[in-house]
Amino acid sequence: MRRAWALTLAALAVTATAASQPAAGQPPAPAKAPAAAAKAPPAARTAPPAAPKSPGNDAAKKPQPKQPAPAAAPMKPNLGTPRSAPPGHPRGGAPPPEAPGSFVPPPDTVGPDPELPAGVLVAEIRTADGQPLAGTEVRLGVIHNTVAEGQRRASTTARTGADGNARFEGLARGSADSYRLTVARGAATYASNPFNLMTDSGYRARLHVYPVVRNIKQALVGMSGMLYIVPRDDNFHFEVLFRIFNAGSVTWVPENVSFRLPEGAKAFTAEESMNDTRAIEEDGSVRLEGTFTPGQHDVSYRFQLSRHNASDTEFVLGMPPHVAGMQVIAESSRGMSFDVEDFPEAQKTTSQGGQRVLATAKQLRRGDPELSQVSMAIRGLPTRGPGAVIASFIALLIAAMGLVFGGFAKGKGRPRIASDDVRTARRLLLDELVALERARQAEEIGQRIYETTRRALMQALTRIAVLAPPEAKKRPQRKKIATT
């Protein structure tokens, strides 16, 4: 009975400590995401991107080329540039301007024009060879955003004349108003990057439109991809990026282009894009959508797979069409192996953050079959050991005995505890700490479970000391002073 009370005492101390923490095995409460956030896996959204930084009054007088959007997924080790590709596939990089048969798209531009009055925007709609497109409807979207008024959206339209120009007047200037031009042509939507009107002059924008095809075989489109895998205590986290190159002079709008996710995939999140390209999850598959104009486009997404405490696991990821090169990277632990079917043997290296990884890459050559899927196997993963059991024990105590200790905390009375019971409880907690350290050194548990459990145990030891009975203080005896 005495040992049972000591166990209960230790449990109560742990419960009081862990009650204010997330249960072991669960992620801690997320910190506030930064404004540029994490690229934090939000669900795919269709709202226009936030307004760009204001160019300032000293902006260049000539229209500036539209800058490509940065890659959304965090890229890890670079395993090299693809070297060659099968017929019909562009090389694994933007084709050089001097390459025979390659098409260099003219830049879309937007910028101040001193010949236009303030508050006026002229949109020039042109073909790839610079010819004006008359009678084309142009939409100007506006986002007004201030602290006092919040966000307000509006839009207006104008039609191009014989010169291919559409004119918008009476536009507000300043950083509070962000504008974006769009033109719909067939199944495609062409759009400028968001911009502000920041100078005392008007603005002039140029937007190019191209013929549209739906079948990828009618376009000179190729892709390269990267897959980054993070094994966690309770799941596998996947980050995927496909860099899509349109080296032709026509726009490709995918029609029924989809590819399978691994069985059991969950928590799918697609990164937002500055242009009209995106990945959408549908019935266990990823579907490509949007307008892939000539040039480079990035499509990225992430998802998770449950991990069932097995040391070995396999999964298959479907590929979109015309993938000419693929990098596959997995964060590694001691004793782990990583095999990708028909890829070279994975090599040990480190990521940009110093994490140990196993990485491999494959570049298709002439005559190689199309890369329709990637089959992977991870073996030798650490499984949950004593530390995970401790964490589960703590979570159970939180649910079962949190109220018991809460009564003590409210001043309803402090339990009378014998010194022997306190010492026994302290010894039990110290034994669990030793077992936890050994489990972490053997990589039987992950870093998150280790940190959560160790913190709970250490604070439990502190509470045990608080519950310990005070030692009886001996009153010093007064010396009798002899009197005469």
Look up the CATH number of the domain holding residue 154: 2.60.40.1120
Per the structure, the count of domains in the chain is 3
Q: How far apart are CA 131 and CA 124, in angstroms?
A: 10
End position of a domain, from candidates 379, 395, 421: 379
Residues 98-117, mean pLDDT to the nearest whole number? 84
For residues 368 and 402, state if they share a domain. Answer: no
Contact in structure between 230 and 236 (CB atoms under 8 Å):
yes
Element (H, E) at 457: helix 447-467
| pLDDT, tens only, 140-187 | 999 999 998 899 999 999 999 999 999 999 999 999 999 999 999 999
For residues 137 and 190, state if they share a domain. Answer: yes
For residues 291 and 162, state if they share a domain. Answer: no
- DSSP label of 262: P
pTM (whole model) above 0.75: no
Of 157-161, 378-382, 395-399, which range is least confident?
A: 395-399
Q: How far apart are CA 255 and CA 211, in angstroms?
A: 16
Element (H, E) at 339: strand 337-340
Does residue 91 lie within any of the structural domains? no
Q: Which residues pair with 139 in a beta bridge?
A: 157, 182
Q: Which residues pair with 327 in a beta bridge?
A: 226, 361
Please tell me which residue, 313 or 396, carries the higher pLDDT value. Answer: 313
Q: What is the pLDDT of residue 244?
A: 96
Q: What are phi and psi of 253, to 5 degrees?
A: -115, 105
Contact in structure between 318 and 373 (CB atoms under 8 Å):
yes
In a 13 Å sphere around the CA of 234, the CA atoms on its Cβ side amount to: 10
Q: What is the pLDDT of residue 386?
A: 53
Please give the C-alpha separations between residue 423 and each of 18, 238, 380, 429, in angstroms, as whole numbers. 21, 47, 40, 10
Does residue 287 lie within any of the structural domains? yes
Does residue 482 lie within any of the structural domains? no
Does residue 314 lie within any of the structural domains? yes
In a 13 Å sphere around the CA of 361, the CA atoms on its Cβ side amount to: 18
For residues 321 and 363, state if they share a domain. Answer: yes
Does residue 134 lie within any of the structural domains? yes
Q: Structure tokens of 32?
A: 């506030």
Domain interval for residue 280: 220-379
Q: Work out the percent of the chain whose per-residue pLDDT is above 90.
A: 50
Is the pLDDT at 83 greater than 50, yes or no?
no
Of 31, 21, 30, 29, residue with least CA distance to 453 = 21
Q: What is the pLDDT of residue 264?
A: 93
Q: How far apart are CA 166 and CA 286, in angstroms?
A: 38
For residues 338 and 227, state if they share a domain. Answer: yes
Does residue 323 lie within any of the structural domains? yes
Residues 287-313, mean pLDDT to the nearest whole number? 93
Is the pLDDT at 100 greater than 50, yes or no?
yes
Please give the C-alpha separations between residue 392 and each of 112, 389, 449, in angstroms, as whole numbers. 63, 5, 10
Is the pLDDT at 476 greater than 50, yes or no?
yes
Does residue 157 lie within any of the structural domains? yes
Range from 252-261, 269-278, 374-383, 407-416 that averages highest in pLDDT? 252-261
Q: Is 385 left (phi over 0), alpha (psi -120 to 50) or beta?
A: beta
End position of a domain, from candidates 333, 354, 379: 379
Q: What is the pLDDT of residue 210?
A: 97
Of 18, 33, 31, 11, residue with least CA distance to 449 = 18
Please tell me which residue, 414 or 30, carries the higher pLDDT value. Answer: 414
End position of a domain, from candidates 213, 233, 254: 213
For residues 226 and 346, state if they share a domain. Answer: yes
Residues 414-429, mean pLDDT to the nearest whole number? 67
| pLDDT, tens only, 16-44 | 444 444 433 333 333 333 333 333 333 33
Please give the C-alpha separations between residue 389 and each of 203, 308, 384, 444, 452, in angstroms, as whole numbers. 65, 15, 8, 11, 13
For residues 402 and 264, state if they share a domain. Answer: no
For residues 357 and 394, state if they share a domain. Answer: no
60: confidence class by pLDDT, cuts 50, 70, 90: very low
Q: What is the pLDDT of residue 481?
A: 58
Q: Which residues pair with 359 in a beta bridge?
A: 329, 347
For residues 371 and 228, state if they share a domain. Answer: yes
Range from 50-54, 209-213, 231-235, 450-454 that averages highest in pLDDT? 209-213
Please tell me which residue, 330 or 462, carries the higher pLDDT value. Answer: 330
Is the pLDDT at 410 greater than 50, yes or no?
no
For residues 168 and 258, state if they share a domain. Answer: no
SS3 216: helix
For residues 263 and 357, state if they share a domain. Answer: yes
Q: Structure tokens of 312?
A: 């070995």
Does residue 19 lie within any of the structural domains? yes
Q: What is the pLDDT of residue 397?
A: 53
For residues 225 and 189, state if they share a domain. Answer: no
- Please list, residue by residue across 360-381, b when 16 or more beta carbons sit within 10 angstroms of its beta carbon and e when fewer do: bbbbbeeeeeebeebebebeeb
Q: How far apart are CA 212 and CA 216, in angstroms?
A: 11
Q: Which residues pair with 454 in a beta bridge?
A: none
Look up the CATH number of the domain holding residue 364: 2.60.40
Q: What are phi and psi of 207, to 5 degrees?
A: -130, 130
Please tell me which residue, 447 or 316, carries the higher pLDDT value. Answer: 316
Please give the C-alpha separations between residue 111 and each of 55, 60, 63, 118, 465, in angstroms, as whole numbers. 9, 8, 4, 12, 69
Is the pLDDT at 421 greater than 50, yes or no?
yes
Residues 85-111, mean pLDDT to the nearest whole number? 59
Instruction: Name the CA radius of gyration of the chain, rounded.
Output: 32
Q: How far apart are CA 379 and CA 449, in angstroms?
A: 21
